[in-house]
Structure 1
Amino acid sequence: MKEALLYDNRENHQVACRLCAHFCVINCGERGRCGVRENRDGILYSLVYGHTIAHHVDPIEKKPLYHFYPGSRSLSIATPGCNMHCHWCQNAGISQVPRDVKFPVGDAMTPEQIVVAAQQSDSHSIAYTYTEPTIFFEYSLDTARLAHDAGLANVYVSNGYMTAEMLDLVQPYLDAANIDLKSFRDTTYRKYAGARLQPVLDSLKKLHTLGIWLEVTTLIIPGINDDLQELKELAEFIVTELGAATPWHVSRFYPQYQLNHLPSTPSATINQAVEIGRTAGLMHVYAGNLGVDNSTLCPGCGATLIQRRGYDLRNNRIGRESRCPDCGQQIAGVGMGKEEQ
């Protein structure tokens, strides 16, 4: 255990957590909605500090981050727990923690050991992913500081349900984030994720303002968030608030967890979403989970610059200063050219 950051003491040994947008008020002996922060005698503790439930070396494209040191490796870690309860969660076995689970869970791994493992695996970055990095903030923050000192980048793959105060604390060490914008309707967030839309939008804008490289993912689910008008509004939000160069990943849903009764998303719907994004003015829209070519094209001349299929990067033609070798257009991202990696 480790004493948590970002909480206030209240009367009768209650604590008020300021880590995520739930702003849980937690009675003595109870846990927050994430299931991994517990009030013990008026002190809030993180129950997952120092233990990983998953750690693997992944291609950065798996996050997915297509415009952040493409072709590099990322040591990816997670602890149990999440502050959302999505009906389609693909990692529900580790994210949805039973209220009576006894900690610690997983493999003991100090921040120092994580950094060494990243170096030994020839990873360019450490990704805090699989579950929700917000809920193991103290662990990720200590690791990110050490990683930063060691010349490694730090990446969040997140649902975006954190507070601005948390983002301000991690900003000096966080280099990139992929935020899952699950829907553009508050009713969908409330019904299927146990959360609200506006805090996610606020986090996206905050990340952009802080200068952290940002990509957005939307898993498109039949009958839940596949309305074409909703997708149009979502794409327009990205263009207006985050910038036309922000990559948008639109991914195909496959039946899982509490939505096993739904069909997979038709390929035609994903292709429509891609066109909606491009029509809205987005320069880089990618179709996920289709097994198709996901190449990065030059928004200036249309040339293929990074050839990839799924997570497999096959060729990178981007030149110095992240420019297209054919027309000189600068390509948005971090470390896009080979000589920059």
Structure 2
Amino acid sequence: MKCYICENGCAIPEGNTGACGHYKNKGEQIIELFPNKYLTVCPISIETMPVLHFYPRGKFLQISTTGCNFTCDGCISALIVEEMAPGSKALRELLPQQVVDRAINNDCIGVAFLLNDPLASFPTFLKVAELAKKQGLLVGCSSNAYFTESSLAKISGYLDFINVGVKGLSDQAYQNCGGSTVEPVLRNIKTLHEKGVHVEVSCMLKTDNMEEVVGLAEIMAQISPDIPLQLMRFIPLEGADPSLEPSIREAEDLYWRLRKYLNYIYLFNSPGTNYLNTFCPRCGEVNYKRDFYGPMGAKLTFPETVSGQKNICPKCGRTIDMKAAPAEIKYQEGAFEGGYPFTRALEMMEAILIAIGVTDKKKVVQVWEEVLCHEGLNKLHHDIQNLESYLGTIKHFGELTKTENKAEELVVFMQEKISRVKDGRSAIKRKPRVYYVMGKPLFCLKGERLENQLVEAAGGISVNKEIECTGRPGMQISVEQLNALNPEVIFISAFLSSSVEDFYEECCKAGIKVDAVKNMRIYTHIASGWDFGSPRWILGLLHIANVLQPEIYHFDVIEDAKKLYKEFYEIDFSLSDLNRSFSKPSSMWKWNKN
């Protein structure tokens, strides 16, 4: 029997399952194997989904399950798609009415399915969508939109909005993900738009697909130039090729090419860019301001618009294509809630477990289950921001996985380095003022984050702590604020970073005249994962100490990296094999197949 749900159209013999593993042929009927099982159910603001032109700042109930009909290289949701079993006890069983009740009780205006693809839980989502609509809620999802015409007809009548993730325009792009061709996706975008569903399109932007993205913009313009296009600057997670990551500058250059075709273009995964803002298509006035809010996320800032609440450009009077005015109440997500930071939380836990010798995915999932079932994400979020409590988390995870000895070895390794840094503090005569930034010059990391604790542990003064900083993982500040802080040293985050050359040029263009820029004391880390999210931050601490107090500290960081990799990852350290993953130390590291 042929599965009707997605265009892969698996031929499923009686009693067997399709390629995604979520549907079975039973009595010549396609049945869902894991109905009503949810990994996350929590309120979010819609921009974290991300959807930008539909009920801005609206509060929706996020629902996520597990699994996907695609397997995309470098997928940001790979952990819940490929590693979290659909039968895990971390998943909660909720009937459709319970989901709808939870949305209503949390004052949400709708339900949004994201993180994994609703095509992996199609009957479940269909029932929730139908019931939510009957009870006056809005309904939407993020999807690769590989719906068949049949499944799209079933769901489209209940959808109010959708973010369609396009993998590229070539057949090869879809074959790399387990599909065959882009044609069903383009067909479905057109159908959804014609049916009155609010459509936004997202596309991973890689160094090797820029012309395809231009072609996508041309096709979208033929459907409607008012469909927003979200450029997801590629983050090479898991085993993805790091060379596929375009710089923020390259992504911004492409942005201007695309503006010739579409009225609304947005650039994600690029902290500090101005291209998350909504510009008036006629006169170029900024009508809505947004900030980076974690991977693939955004957040309206205050004041969010210069046009009042009317969706009218105050400069030229053009209507801005929004489905509603922004909600007056700003919803603040909890720790690791709202869009994709949840997947980063799982990755950070996995990072510790891999470093203490856990190479069996089942044991990783057991720790995830322990943390999620006991609502431990808030504690985790707090503990990973502090050197000592991070070491305590390593020990705790060692106890949970019965790898206490390896966990103790890692703690001893890290404590020895920390002690050597502490021993040098008495010789420090002067502490430089240090600014920690992610991406572009004005995106300031929150003062309480681990990166700033590393600065102070290594003999610096964190100027980030002098800023009242909100957002996630920080916020954009003004040139005036940064100039007033006048840092002597600037560190660029090891995650979502810019090159020193691009960063310096941005500073000069923006009129940033701090001592760090004048004296070219701007630094990046040697490798990603060296200042947050992974025990490899211990290497970042040594690197920061060398930079801030060169008369005192002379750590051979590369040699220490080789020791760390050999002892705890059992592989050789090689800069050419590294990616952006917090958890996987190298593209060469592999799970135990037993």
TM-score using structure 2 length: 0.51
Contact 2:201 2:227 in 1 (8 A): yes
Matching residue within 227, 231, 249 for 2:230:
249
1:184 to 169, 183, 193: 169
Distance in 1, Cα, partners of 2:316 & 2:285: 9
- Give the structure 2 partner of residue 267 of structure 1: 248
- The whole-number CA distance in structure 2 between the counterparts of 1:296 and 1:255 is 27
Other-structure match for 2:51: 65
> Partners in 2 of 1:330 and 1:36 — Cα distance?
44
**Residue number in structure 2 paired with 1:160:** 145
Distance 1:316 1:117 in 2: 31
316 and 122 in structure 1: CA distance in 2 versus 1, 3 angstrom threshold? farther
Secondary structure in structure 2 of the residue aligned to 1:196: coil
Counterpart of 2:450? none
Counterpart of 1:173 in structure 2 is 158
Task: Indicate conservation of the 8 Å contact 1:125/1:152, yes or no.
Answer: yes
Between the two proteins, what is the percent identity of the paired residues? 28
Q: 1:26-53 CA distances to partner (integer Å, 9 max, x unpaired)?
A: 0122111221001234332101211112
Q: Using the TM superposition, give the Cα deviation of residue 260 of structure 1 relative to its aligned residue in structure 2, in angstroms.
A: 5.4
Name the residue aligned to 2:319: 330
Q: How many angstroms does 1:184 deviate by?
A: 1.4
The 10-residue stretch of structure 1 (139-148 or 260-269) with the greater mean CA deviation from structure 2: 260-269
Separation (CA, whole Å) in 2 of partners of 1:22 and 1:103: 26
Give structure 2 stretches of 5+ with no counterpart: 293-297, 331-594
Aligned to 1:237: 219
Which residues in structure 2 correspond to 1:1-341 (within 5 Å)? 15-96=1-82, 106-223=91-208, 225-226=209-210, 229-241=211-223, 243-259=224-240, 261-262=242-243, 264-279=245-260, 281-291=261-271, 292-293=273-274, 294-310=276-292, 311-314=298-301, 315-318=304-307, 322-336=311-325
Which residue pairs with 2:388 in the alignment?
A: none
Give the C-alpha shift of residue 66 in structure 1.
0.7
Instruction: Work out the CA distance in 1 between the residues paired with 2:280 and 2:90.
Output: 46
What RMSD over aligned residues (CA atoms) do the two structures have, in Å?
2.3
**3-state SS, counterpart of residue 333 of structure 1:** coil
Note the C-alpha offset of 1:151: 1.9
**SS of the residue 1:214 aligns to:** strand
Secondary structure at 1:240 match in 2: helix
| Aligned partners of 1:48 and 1:79 also within 8 Å | no
Distance 1:203 1:97 in 2: 29
Which whole-Å CA distance do the structure 2 matches of 1:202 and 1:111 have between them? Answer: 30
- Rounded to whole Å, the distance in 1 between the matches of 2:192 and 2:134 is 22
CA contact (8 A) 1:235 1:276 kept: no
What residue identity is the alignment partner of 1:313?
L
Cα–Cα, structure 1 residues 25 and 161, in superposed 2: closer, same or farther, change >3 Å? same
The CA deviation at 1:56 is 2.8
Q: Is the 8 A contact 2:72 2:176 kept in 1?
A: no
- 2:176 aligned counterpart, secondary structure: helix
Alpha-carbon deviation of 1:105?
Answer: 7.1
State the structure with more CA Rg. 2
SS of residue paired to 1:16: coil
Instruction: Figure out how many residues of one structure are paired with residues of the other and give that number.
Output: 320
Q: 1:78 to 1:195 in 2, by over 3 A?
A: farther
Higher strand share: 1
1:194 Cα deviation after fit = 3.6
Larger helix fraction of residues: 2
Per-residue Cα deviation, 1:270-325 (whole angstroms, up to 9, x for no partner): 1122112102x211101101012311122123222211112221213456764334
Decide whether aligned partners of structure 1 residues 335 and 83 sit closer, same or farther in structure 2, where only a CA change above 3 A counts.
same
Q: Which residue matches 2:369?
A: none
Query: C-alpha displacement at 1:62, in angstroms?
Result: 1.6
TM-score normalised over the length of structure 1: 0.86
